[in-house]
């Protein structure tokens, strides 16, 4: 299970990656914790920006 308890730096990077995915469909940013690529998913009303390692970190946003 990915960790959603991010520090400020990790949250900032995943937030920036999230904007990249929405604007450009991809991001060059890497996971701040392990350096792996980041991925973007929409599941129902949940918007997820996470490390490609499913056991690393993720940023969860609930859409409106």
Draw the binding track, 3-42, toward Zn ion (x: CB under 5 A; -: no contact).
----------------------------x-xx-x------
What separation in angstroms does the CA of 50 have from each of 15, 16, 25, 27?
10, 12, 14, 12
Three-state DSSP class for 47? strand
- Exactly one of 38, 39, 56, 59 binds Zn ion (CB under 5 A); that residue is 56
Shortest approach of Zn ion to residue 64 CB, angstroms? 28
Give the span between the Cα atoms of 18 and 24, in whole angstroms.
10
Residues interacting with Zn ion, by CB under 5 A?
Answer: 31, 33-34, 36, 51, 53, 56
């Amino acid at each position: 299970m990915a960790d959603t308890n991010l520090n400020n730096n990790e949250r900032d990077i995943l937030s920036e990656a999230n904007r990249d995915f929405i604007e450009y469909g991809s991001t060059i940013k890497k996971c701040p914790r392990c350096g792996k690529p980041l991925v973007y998913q929409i599941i129902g009303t949940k918007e997820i920006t996470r490390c490609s390692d499913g056991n690393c970190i993720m940023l969860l946003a609930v859409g409106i």
